[in-house]
Structure 1
Amino acid sequence: MTIQEPGWLPDQQEADAGGLSPIGLLCDGILSAIGQISNNPEEATVEIGTRINNILSLFSETEFEVSSAKRRISALKSDLRRVTEQLAVLRQEQFGQSSEKDRGDLLEEDLGLALEDEFDEEPKEKPKGKRARKVPKDIRVITVDHFPDDMSCGSCGDNLKSIKREVRVGKFRIVPEHLVLVQDAYHTCACNREICKENKPVAAKSGNYIMKGRGMEPEFAAEAACQKFFEHTPPYRLERRLRNANINLARQTIDKAVAHLAKHLRPIQDELHAHVLSGHTAQMDETPVKVQAPGKGKCDTGYFWVINRDEANWNSEAQPAVVYRYAHSRAGAVAEELLSWASLRFLQTDGYAGYNRLFKDNGQNEGLMPSRCNAHARRKFFEAHLATESKLAAKVVQMYRKMYAVEKAAKGLPPAEREKLRLQKTLPIMTELKAILTKHEADASGKLKTAISYTLNGFDGLQRFVFDGRLEIDNNGVERCIRGVALTKKNSLFAGSHDAADVWAIYYSLIESARLNKVNPRSYLNWLVQEIERSRGMVDYSQLMPWHCPVGRIDN
């Protein structure tokens, strides 16, 4: 008897040379075995064959339903991927550029890209339980003793005595705007002896240096600067809190004190600038800032030029620093002037054309070599993939992910080992990347064309980090230093004047350099004020760098 498989799927027919599926072959074998039994009634054989055919028919229908469900699931995944991409684009338009790490996770997980990487580490387990509360040693502790409501003995009526004292975990209390008024009393002294009447009385002199003749201490101005440039709180909020404490101190007075203190801190900014330009490599970027222009009815646009030196990824004894300089223009001439006396070998930047004049052979900075930022190139391919669903763009992002995995493995290694690892792992990826982009450059269009052209035009600078272990794969370090400026710009809307913008640059040079050296910026500024006040300005400013600060060290 031959088994019939009604509605059997074509792909199942291909599973067997005779047109039967594996289960069909099994059932056919059962019928053949039954047929070989002697004296077996034909009616029983026919009945068994009919039942088996019914089973196969039901199995065929079930398989067809499973196949249809798989197709529906595939279609739903495709719709989900498209909606996810549209949502990512809308988020970028609404909130601006986000973290490269977060956007990379979106590309890999939500878009379903399978990325294999030999450098991937196993996910770390999240710490269990609550973290231990850190309490500074110098914090003021207020102890409150608690006794029973009834302190009399129930038997004899005498007063109870404490036999056990249990001190429990303390509770933090905030004392808002705790101000102290410091009054200076200057004494005039003289000798009362008869023989000393000819000696004139001696009067005490004021010891104020930084804030001489002003109604606040330099520590007050330093705190106001920290609140604005470190905590990104506009001065009007400080003015409001002071008014709530019945102190009528105008924000203009506070701003003038902050600007006055900045004049005494400017030499430290110059020392940071000299330190940054004396290294092997530096990163440079610029960011716009709105500056109030009285009489124009609108704001001018100025620029903060940021130069960063951070060797922490390959030098355990690194002394990182970043310097901010304000300028009215974004022209390349400003960058050339800021680097006119640099001894740098490499300068890492983005693709802004204004930096090109720095690398001319006959320029003022002859010998300075360009190094480009791969994060900018990767971001363009990521955006091209979101806009066009280009498989080429997705492949390039995967290649960049592998290169960044190499950088993760190379972090903390000496320069020679970093270079060796990059030559072994990263250089083949860069070579393949250039070949792929060159092959598809002519056929690309839109955002993908822009991304390919951007990468190929600066490819030498993009791969320069491979051949020097002291270079970084991108200039994210200097871009992280701009985050604080962005927050202050958002909360303050604009700088009051060009001179005020220059004050911003001074404080950000000190605050961000302190952060790079894991020093609390508030502690650092107060230490600077105390040293300058103590020495009355006669101090070696090179000894006031953040890495010399003895207070405010951050453990992690």
Structure 2
Amino acid sequence: MRQKVAELEAQLAAPNKLLSSYKTMLFGSRSEKASIVVNDQARLDLGDLDETVVLEAANDDMPSPGRTRRRHRNIGALPKYLPRVTQIIEPDSTQCACCQGDMHRIGQDVSEAIDIVPAVLRVIATVRPRYACRRCETDIVQAPAPRRMIEGGMATTSFIAWIVTQRFGWYLPLYRQSQMLAGHGLYLDRSTMGRWVQRTAWWLQGLYDRQLRFIHGQARIHVDETRMPVLDPGRGKERINQFWAHGIDDAPWGGPAPPAVCYVHARSRSHRTISEQLGAYAGILQVDGYTAYKALETANRSSGSITLAFCLAHLRRRFVDLHKSTASSITAQIIKLLGRIYRIEAEIRGISAERRLSARQEKSKPLMIELKRLLDNTLERISAKSTLAQDIRYAQGHWVGLSRFLDDGRIEVDNNMIERQMRPIGISRRNSLFAGSDGGAESWAILASLLQTAKLNGLDPFAWLNDVLTRIVSGEIRNNELDQLLAWNWRPGQTSAPLEIAA
């Protein structure tokens, strides 16, 4: 009877957990940063800290040792690189009230305030005079017309670059941009702006391909996927496609690879799809526990050997969710152990791979051994149908990949680097709802990849895109020179001739 009761309780736990998850999605906090008190939630006795599980966010955004993250606050002075407009306010009179003599300047008070000039729309009139000889009247000379992104179009490269940056760099849908421009007296149809976006992606296809090849040339990459709704006119509804994200960032261990991400549009999230995308890649693949990745780690893979490193944050998230609904002492112990591992990671962030490996072997490896022993012992004492047992079996089935960071200082403990690059896609998808076609989704992937990578490298996405498009369209940069336009290699060019603005 006791066994039967345990089985029934385990069966009941699954729908209860599902109901709790729905309630959390509707009414709970969206952040993982929260304090969870294991026993008495109302007790604030500082002497009982050992019984409190502080749930810190499992991410790799922590500052490197010896460096504290500075807040970018303008207290006392505004940024010096901003242009200054001096406004001098003189008194009504500079004559002395006593003797009526002229007063002389003895000093001044200066105060600064930030100002903004809203977007200014203007028309660039390109004039190309023609010259002819009065004697022979046969030879006519005229400067060639500059190349434009869209031949015969009514928009400059800068204007199109602005539209594209607002759409894919700052997630502002085209219909909202159309409304904003209408406020300036310029009425643009969204279909026109959509064609500009597709044309921009066409010009940048080669640069996108170069960036993706560069990512696949690294020894370690992160991969994740997210859904991408696409209109399917034949069926009269949406079709759920996928965006696969391939990313790199060696900053946590001071490696050579700059931060970069490429989104790849596909109709499927199958093993075959990701295998085709990776092509001949050989190296370390940092991923979550999705089954499509597991078949990549085969000894007979003809295109190259892949080693999988799994995500400790995904494991941790399972036990955090379970602890919120059960307040179990076992889940509290597991969360504590994982929290200690993350604190070690925060301490060693930014140092060399060799030193990270040494610290992990000394400090993190015993914690992982203790965690494995706790999971194995717990599984023997609980119902095989319980949610806790399912989470423990997940950990056991992925343990080799979860522990791989202990043997290589280049590997991260989680896949949060690429998960953060999925957030811009999620925001943009929520604002735009869907892509209009497969071609629109392809353009989305190309432009989002390049602009997000520019932001990751600390660049102003509009300044980068405007310069890159200008140099590609003008022919200054050939196809075999595109590498110098990648965000981490880019230096601003001087391609724009001075404009003569008519009064």
Q: Deviations over 1:349-381 (max 9, x none)?
A: 111111122112223444211110000000001
1:543 corresponds to 2:503: no
Q: What is residue 144 of structure 1 aligned with on the other side?
A: 87
Q: Which amino acid aligns with 1:93?
A: M
Q: What is residue 458 of structure 1 aligned with on the other side?
A: 398
Q: Deviations over 1:509-548 (max 9, x none)?
A: 1122122222222222122123213325524111111111
* Gap change, CA 1:128 and 1:143, over 3 Å in 2: closer
* Gap change, CA 1:471 and 1:129, over 3 Å in 2: closer
Q: What is residue 60 of structure 1 aligned with on the other side?
A: none
* Gap change, CA 1:374 and 1:98, over 3 Å in 2: farther
Q: Which amino acid aligns with 1:499?
A: G
Q: What is residue 270 of structure 1 aligned with on the other side?
A: 209
CA distance in 2: counterparts of 1:480 and 1:327, whole angstroms:
20
Q: What is residue 183 of structure 2 aligned with on the other side?
A: 244
CA distance in 2: counterparts of 1:357 and 1:346, whole angstroms:
14
Q: Which amino acid aligns with 2:295?
A: R
Structure 1: any 5+ residue segments left out of the alignment? 1-84
CA distance in 2: counterparts of 1:365 and 1:109, whole angstroms:
53
Q: What is residue 291 of structure 1 aligned with on the other side?
A: 230
Q: What is residue 392 of structure 1 aligned with on the other side?
A: 330
Q: What is residue 62 of structure 2 aligned with on the other side?
A: none
Q: What is residue 67 of structure 1 aligned with on the other side?
A: none
**1:513 aligned to which of 437, 440, 453:** 453
Count, aligned residues: 457
Q: What is residue 182 of structure 1 aligned with on the other side?
A: 124
Q: Which amino acid aligns with 2:119?
A: E
Q: Which amino acid aligns with 2:127?
A: A
Q: What is residue 200 of structure 1 aligned with on the other side?
A: 139
Cα RMSD after superposing both structures? 3.3
1:524 corresponds to 2:461: no
Q: What is the CA-CA distance between 1:173 and the residue it aligns to?
A: 2.7
Q: Which amino acid aligns with 2:424?
A: G
Q: What is residue 59 of structure 2 aligned with on the other side?
A: none
Bigger drift between 168-177 and 233-242 goes to 168-177
* Gap change, CA 1:282 and 1:127, over 3 Å in 2: closer
* Gap change, CA 1:415 and 1:123, over 3 Å in 2: closer
Q: What is residue 354 of structure 1 aligned with on the other side?
A: 292
1:372 corresponds to 2:310: yes
Match of 1:441, SS state, is helix
Bigger drift between 90-99 and 444-453 goes to 90-99
Indicate the structure with greater helix content.
1
Q: What is the CA-CA distance between 1:423 and the residue it aligns to?
A: 0.9
Q: What is residue 244 of structure 2 aligned with on the other side?
A: 305
Q: Deviations over 1:462-491 (max 9, x none)?
A: 001110001000000000011111110111
CA distance in 2: counterparts of 1:190 and 1:162, whole angstroms:
63
**1:94 aligned to which of 3, 22, 26:** 26
TM-score by length of 2: 0.82
Q: What is the CA-CA distance between 1:404 and the residue it aligns to?
A: 0.7
Bigger drift between 509-518 and 490-499 goes to 509-518
Match of 1:358, SS state, is coil
CA distance in 1: counterparts of 2:336 and 2:426, whole angstroms:
30
Counterpart contact for 2:248–2:257, Cα < 8 Å: no
CA distance in 1: counterparts of 2:471 and 2:38, whole angstroms:
52
Q: Deviations over 1:167-213 (max 9, x none)?
A: 62233333333112111112111233x3xx15411122211242322
Q: What is the CA-CA distance between 1:287 and the residue it aligns to?
A: 0.4
Counterpart contact for 1:326–1:505, Cα < 8 Å: yes
* Gap change, CA 1:96 and 1:226, over 3 Å in 2: farther
Counterpart contact for 1:348–1:372, Cα < 8 Å: yes
CA distance in 1: counterparts of 2:475 and 2:69, whole angstroms:
51
Match of 2:316, SS state, is helix
Counterpart contact for 1:322–1:512, Cα < 8 Å: yes
Higher RCO (Cα < 8 Å, 6 or more apart): 2
Q: What is the CA-CA distance between 1:143 and the residue it aligns to?
A: 3.0
Select the structure of larger CA radius of gyration. 1
CA distance in 1: counterparts of 2:156 and 2:72, whole angstroms:
46
Q: What is the CA-CA distance between 1:295 and the residue it aligns to?
A: 4.6
Q: Deviations over 1:380-437 (max 9, x none)?
A: 0111111222111111110101111111122111111111111111111111211221
* Gap change, CA 1:375 and 1:385, over 3 Å in 2: same
TM-score by length of 1: 0.75
Q: What is the CA-CA distance between 1:551 and the residue it aligns to?
A: 5.0
CA distance in 1: counterparts of 2:257 and 2:21, whole angstroms:
39
Q: Which amino acid aligns with 2:115?
A: R
Q: What is the CA-CA distance between 1:156 and the residue it aligns to?
A: 8.9
